[in-house]
C-alpha cells in the first residue's frame, strides 16, 4: 500500500532543523562535485543532464557503462563505492502493480537489468 508517515519526534525534528542551516551549502557542494564529475566524464560515458531551470540534490550521480559488473569491480578495487538503487524498475515493484498490468517501459527495464546504469558518488 502506497503511503507515508511524515510524523517527526522531537529528536528527528531537532536534527532536521540543524541540517536546514547548512542545506543550501550542501546542495551547492553536491552540484559543484557533480559538475566536476560531468566535466571529467563527458567524453567517456553519458552523464546526468539537468535542465537549466531545474536543480538536482544529486542524491546519486548516475552514469551508464557498457559492463556494469566489470565497472563496479574496478571501482571497488579503487575504493569507490557504487550501488544499483533500482534493480527492479519502480513500475514493476509490487506496490506499483497492484492488480494491473504494468506499462512497458523498455528504457527503465534495460537500465535495471540489460544495459548497465550504475549510480556512484564519491565526495
Grid coordinates standing for 89?
524498475
What distance in Å separates the CA atoms of residue 71 and residue 37, rounded to the nearest whole number? Answer: 16
Grid coordinates standing for 96?
506499483
What domains are defined for the chain?
A: 10-120 (3.90.1150.10)
Torsion of CA 80, 92, 50, 38, to 10 degrees: 20
Grid coordinates standing for 60?
546519486
Q: What is residue 2's DSSP assignment?
A: -
Question: What pLDDT does residue 95 have?
Answer: 79
Examine the pLDDT at 59 and tell me if it is beyond 60: yes
Overall pTM > 0.85: no
Question: What pLDDT does residue 24 have?
Answer: 95
Among 3-7, 51-55, 111-115, the range scoring the smallest mean pLDDT is 111-115
116 by DSSP, 3-state: which?
strand
- The residue behind cell 567517456 is 44
List pLDDT tens digits, range 24-42: 999 999 999 999 999 999 9
List pLDDT tens digits, range 64-121: 888 888 999 999 999 999 988 888 888 888 877 777 787 888 888 888 874 544 444 4
Q: Are 83 and 33 in contact (CB under 8 A)?
A: no
Examine the pLDDT at 60 and tell me if it is beyond 80: yes
Q: What is residue 61's DSSP assignment?
A: E
Amino acid at each position: 500500500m502506497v503511503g507515508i508517515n511524515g510524523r517527526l519526534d522531537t529528536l528527528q525534528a531537532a536534527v532536521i532543523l540543524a541540517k536546514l542551516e547548512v542545506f543550501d551549502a550542501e546542495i551547492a557542494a553536491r552540484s559543484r562535485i557533480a559538475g566536476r564529475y560531468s566535466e571529467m566524464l563527458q567524453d567517456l560515458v553519458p552523464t546526468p543532464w539537468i535542465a537549466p531551470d531545474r536543480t538536482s540534490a544529486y542524491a546519486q550521480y548516475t552514469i551508464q557503462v557498457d559492463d556494469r559488473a566489470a565497472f563496479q569491480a574496478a571501482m571497488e578495487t579503487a575504493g569507490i563505492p557504487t550501488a544499483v538503487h533500482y534493480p527492479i524498475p519502480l513500475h514493476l515493484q509490487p506496490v506499483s502493480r497492484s492488480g494491473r498490468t504494468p506499462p512497458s517501459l523498455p528504457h527503465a527495464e534495460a537500465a535495471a537489468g540489460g544495459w548497465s546504469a550504475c549510480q556512484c558518488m564519491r565526495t
